[in-house]
Structure 1
């Protein structure tokens, strides 16, 4: 295929350590395991930023938050920043989104020609943190530990209702694409909100993990004072003092999380089965926006560079790429240039300013030596944090905190900070220079503060008086669906059938 179809399957808050080489053996995920057997599996893939909107804007554009300006979950995604949807659409693709992408601002498309659902989260500036008020907890939208203490079983929830709709619309779109009324190649992005907390799952999936041996973290909770400075800020932001977390709460939360991976596996299986039954071929990419700490060391959700939060699964199935396991660190900001190369689409005009790198050569057995970069400048931070992963080491820097250096081969749980040890002074100095060459942290901090201050003014102004929401409103033109009197019934029945004549 000179211009191959592309199917992107995106999930939310899926911990990449559960995907050491595809799904862990003990996960009940037969469809993802089948996909893994056909794919290049990137064991050490990282988010650009461990939070939804920043991670997703970076995933789509190939740029870090310091470039996109999407620092947090209420920062506007600029309309003039090209995404993979823009690049592919410009080259002749149909581009369609079913599900979540957490776009903030009046542009709710960002290169997609069609959106099949609304988003699950608000599109305005209401979730803006405020560096002018360090330690302030904004109770009505900040995470709290109620997701943990309230974990359990439900047959429906806000998120289940959403993802059921996302999957249904995606399968209907695949049927529609098979009918061939539009001959352009297509790129369909299907983006779920699970297994993001709250940790609530349907009984059929919950029961799969009754005897699971992984319902307790490998690193038990630490007392508050033993944590690093940023982790303590996360605890405070999550209102930990007002909750008592029991071992049973932890078991139920992790069990529901694993159950929701199986729920997603069913949804993804439906989509892949529909693709196969309609005889369509496509490049398939599976990826998450960020991870979830799942109680490791007492931390939950994301917002940190520790592996559970920052590492994400990524699997790529494409013609010409032999299925294999790849350990080299990569990033989900590499998705945009990778898809463009696979589709034969040039990014030459913006490539000098693009942080992401195509993974096609690496996936085919080549080498990559450049470090993977991450940034975080949202709730639970009082100044930007940055990170580099290269080889066996991860280095974290924040102007407010002591440096962190971890050897992930010897210390996969990041319990020994080598930045304090004289034997690693040379390695620490090397990473410190790399950070200084890449980032001006004072300027980064000033830009975040400027953005936050402006957004607080705009949000409060727009909420005063008549309010016009930016949330995407899916348009269903009922008069153009099924059979209407401006149509020929014979033509409708013939065109809507797939395959015809069997």
Structure 2
């Protein structure tokens, strides 16, 4: 090994942390992720810093919490002057590339990648990216995805979409599904790696984010009736969560049968994704690069998946939403003795940047709050997260206690996770918990000591300069959007169009 390990970051979107075999899920099939965990360290208590796509992604890249980098929403820009681990690696001579969903504004924002080959899903990026340009050139439109993601089009989805909660077969053939497109282009990037180290590839899949639409034949992989309901399912929405009953879908109608249909399709998208992860890892092995590559698998946030009778991500920072899967396979010289380890330390996505820089032998430009996960002794007593979706919220969590604080809005919650792992018994007013509540409030106050910056947005921020990056053009953007909308209207009106089973 040259001392410059390769780095492969594999990121999913909206992946609940207990939804793969190595994490203890008894139903979903994930042989590639399970094998990666057997070669690395599975962090069982890993958390995102904010359970929304873009803010969490900027934290992973920068190693900073959201109140430090200011990218609060899905339409925000990582401010100039905030360093990232891709930038640091590029300065050190690494060849850096990313493939898949980045969710940046502007779409091809330069955060340190020499090249970006993008497959976006929500927002304006869909009408800039490489994936949708390829789809259009092939005369294809991802109708199911557009109906679920584009609010002006959702009314055309039909009744079955609502009763299945967007769970059904993709209208695209497998070779054009986003997971396949991203996987194929990621393989091509790995084929361009040299033998001397110094390569970074960030592969970011759209799935298992909703809609829950695996392509055929993957959609038939799981029998809904045979699946076990995830921990934390409740027959009705608990009263404190009633305010979230109509978030995206109406969850009062979520039956056990409907949830099993969601599970079958959610798991199928995960197994499809796992298939491509397996191909990526096998390509590294075949080229003799696997042992000396730092490999990170994670997600930007979790998914309720029936927890408290909810779906998706809009609501309180309960563990299924705030926790993320995290597996790190260290280069052979650094982590062989930790292969197969399950680490219950409290870790955060802000630790990824620190870990990558340390593996490459680099120091951050400025001190970062993250831990180097290669150090088995690295630990924190409390992990934090925040959110500004709906009412502002902050989370402080120890190994056995959790505080959810909502500031002046009231409704704070304190959970004894040892006795109440499903966060159903709010003991915020229990005198027996007063000291623990006070300690977590103090910890939150220290964590939020800095005055947080406002949301930062700069649509003219520097972009990657590559031939595939289109110039800003509102007219082209509008024409592209209208073309896809017209294909949705045509497909939804076509007799027999029924991707969702009522």
Is TM more than 0.5 here?
yes
Aligned counterparts of 1:188 and 1:240: Cα–Cα separation in 2 = 39
For the residue of structure 1 that corresponds to 2:192, the secondary structure is helix
Aligned counterparts of 2:125 and 2:118: Cα–Cα separation in 1 = 17
2:64–2:369 contact (8 Å) kept in structure 1:
yes
Classify 1:244/1:157 alpha carbon distance in 2 versus 1 (closer, same or farther; 3 Å).
farther
**Structure 1, residues 90-133: CA drift from partner, whole Å, max 9, x if none?**
1111111011111123652310011123433335799xxxxxxx
- 1:407 Cα shift? 2.2
For the residue of structure 1 that corresponds to 2:325, the secondary structure is strand
- 1:415 Cα shift? 1.1
- What does 1:185-200 correspond to in 2, within 5 Å? 185-200=198-213
1:346 aligns with 2:363: yes
Match of 2:324 in 1: 312
**Structure 1, residues 416-454: CA drift from partner, whole Å, max 9, x if none?**
11212111111001111112222269x65x935xx69x9
Aligned counterparts of 1:124 and 1:168: Cα–Cα separation in 2 = 20
Match of 2:40 in 1: 39
1:420 aligns with 2:433: no
For the residue of structure 2 that corresponds to 1:163, the secondary structure is helix
Classify 1:427/1:3 alpha carbon distance in 2 versus 1 (closer, same or farther; 3 Å).
same
Match of 2:104 in 1: 103
Match of 2:299 in 1: 288
Classify 1:257/1:72 alpha carbon distance in 2 versus 1 (closer, same or farther; 3 Å).
same
1:355 aligns with 2:369: yes
Aligned counterparts of 1:125 and 1:317: Cα–Cα separation in 2 = 32
For the residue of structure 2 that corresponds to 1:201, the secondary structure is coil
Match of 2:394 in 1: 386
User: Structure 1 stretches of 5 or more lacking a match?
Assistant: 127-137, 456-464, 471-502
Match of 1:24 in 2: 25
For the residue of structure 2 that corresponds to 1:16, the secondary structure is coil
Aligned counterparts of 1:370 and 1:220: Cα–Cα separation in 2 = 29
- 1:395 Cα shift? 1.2
2:44–2:344 contact (8 Å) kept in structure 1:
yes
Aligned counterparts of 2:393 and 2:176: Cα–Cα separation in 1 = 33
1:302–1:310 contact (8 Å) kept in structure 2:
no
Match of 1:398 in 2: 406
Match of 1:368 in 2: 379
Aligned counterparts of 1:163 and 1:389: Cα–Cα separation in 2 = 33
TM-score between the two structures when normalised by the length of structure 2: 0.78
**Which sits farther off after the overlay, 101-110 or 428-437?**
101-110
Classify 1:46/1:283 alpha carbon distance in 2 versus 1 (closer, same or farther; 3 Å).
same
Task: Work out which of the residue numbers 233, 236, 247 in structure 2 matches 1:237.
Answer: 247
CA-atom RMSD in angstroms: 3.2
Aligned counterparts of 2:448 and 2:126: Cα–Cα separation in 1 = 26
For the residue of structure 2 that corresponds to 1:193, the secondary structure is strand
Match of 1:474 in 2: none
1:395–1:406 contact (8 Å) kept in structure 2:
yes
Classify 1:123/1:77 alpha carbon distance in 2 versus 1 (closer, same or farther; 3 Å).
farther
Aligned counterparts of 1:157 and 1:63: Cα–Cα separation in 2 = 39
Match of 1:151 in 2: 167
1:55–1:290 contact (8 Å) kept in structure 2:
yes
Aligned counterparts of 1:146 and 1:237: Cα–Cα separation in 2 = 13
- 1:250 Cα shift? 1.4
Match of 2:447 in 1: 438
